[in-house]
Amino acid sequence: MLQLNSLVKAIQSLEVALTRWEATPTDQEIRDSVVQRFEYTYELCHKMMRRQLQEMSASPTEVVALDYKSLIREGAKFKLIARPDAWFAYRRQRNLTSHTYDESVAEQVAKNAIEFLEDARQLLLALQKHE
């Protein structure tokens, strides 16, 4: 059984930052907070999805060996996520923000975090159904 408390807190943290950023969209510090919270919430989603697939699998070691795209496809197959293409895009965004800092990239990722938040919530609901 997965411990989802950290994911719940990460999603709530991202939601708080997004709410503040929507109220003050020119505040770069809040935007950067949104980006950072997107990054760690995304990472937790990825880890929890892998762990849930391991629990559901007849061969958990095969799940450990899955590359990212295969993991996302399996997550969709088992109805943990609905939009694998969006998750591929989130991965690309996370890779961009975690390796370099670019003002325009940060702005775009923060805007996309709104959509990500909904997908993260849906994943959390799917994971909670398996508790």
List the structure tokens of 70: 């295969």
CA distances from 28 to 20, 45, 95, 97 (A): 11, 25, 20, 15
Catalytic pick among 46, 51, 99, 130: 99
Identify whether 130 is a catalytic site residue. no
Cα separation of 89 and 112, whole Å?
10
Of 62, 48, 17, 71, the C-alpha closest to 122 is 48
List the structure tokens of 31: 């935007």
Catalytic pick among 31, 46, 51, 94: 94
Provide the 8-state DSSP code for 51: H
Provide the 8-state DSSP code for 78: T
Question: Catalytic site residues?
Answer: 94, 99
